[in-house]
Amino acid sequence: MSQYLPIVVLLILATLFGALSFVASRLLAPRRPSVAKEAPYECGIVPSREPPERFPVSFYIVAMLFIMFDIEIIFLYPYAVERGALGAFGFWAILGFSLVFFLTFVYEVARGGLDWGPLQRYRDLTVDAAMVSAGRDSSSTIRRVGLEGRTPSDDGSEAAA
């Protein structure tokens, strides 16, 4: 039991130091509260505008996927070094381990987690088919801007003729 005495003494000293530091900071620290200091932002800086939006959840999912593949690489390195000693059991274990990570990656790609561009909505071509007809030409589809309220002689088209 005497071999644990230094550890117990150090634990008691660390706890006392933490408690005394906390009490001393409460008693001795100046208190000058202000609206800026009470705001839920760092350093007392009052924000000039609200943040535009939250990060999408897919950002965090991709970050976790990155960490998972890092962990896989960490486990693949020892396997590669000692694959001869591990034999067939080690091969099938690392194959199953890699398969789990690969399936999570396939799931993430399939649900569109790696599509970071703007949303692309595909148009229904059956609705647009009514807009395409043989009777439409440039004179019926192009709007002439600035000709409203003018007579044909005011726009200069008859003067040139």
What is the tens place of the pLDDT at every residue in 4-35? 999 999 999 999 999 999 999 999 988 888 87
**Within-domain flag for 140:** no
Number of domains within the chain: 1
**Within-domain flag for 99:** yes
Task: Confirm if 62 and 112 have CB atoms less than 8 A apart.
Answer: no
pLDDT band at 161 (very low <50, low <70, confident <90, very high): very low
**Within-domain flag for 36:** yes
**Within-domain flag for 120:** no
User: Is pLDDT of 159 > 60?
Assistant: no
pLDDT band at 57 (very low <50, low <70, confident <90, very high): confident
**pLDDT at site 95:** 92
Q: Report the 10 Å Cβ neighbour count for 67.
A: 10
**Within-domain flag for 82:** yes
Tokens of 5: 């005495």
**Within-domain flag for 37:** yes
Q: Dump pLDDT digits (tens) for 107-156.
A: 877 877 777 666 656 556 566 565 666 666 666 666 666 666 666 665 55
3-state secondary structure 80-92: HHCHHHHHHHHHH
**Within-domain flag for 33:** yes
Query: pTM for the full model?
Result: 0.39
**pLDDT at site 129:** 61
How would you classify residue 143: left for phi > 0, otherwise alpha for psi between -120 and 50, otherwise beta?
Answer: beta
Once rounded to an integer, what is the mean pLDDT over residues 73-100?
A: 89
Give whole-number Cα distances, 120 to 59, 61, 103, 106, 124, in Å: 18, 21, 26, 21, 13
Domain that holds residue 17: 12-45+53-110
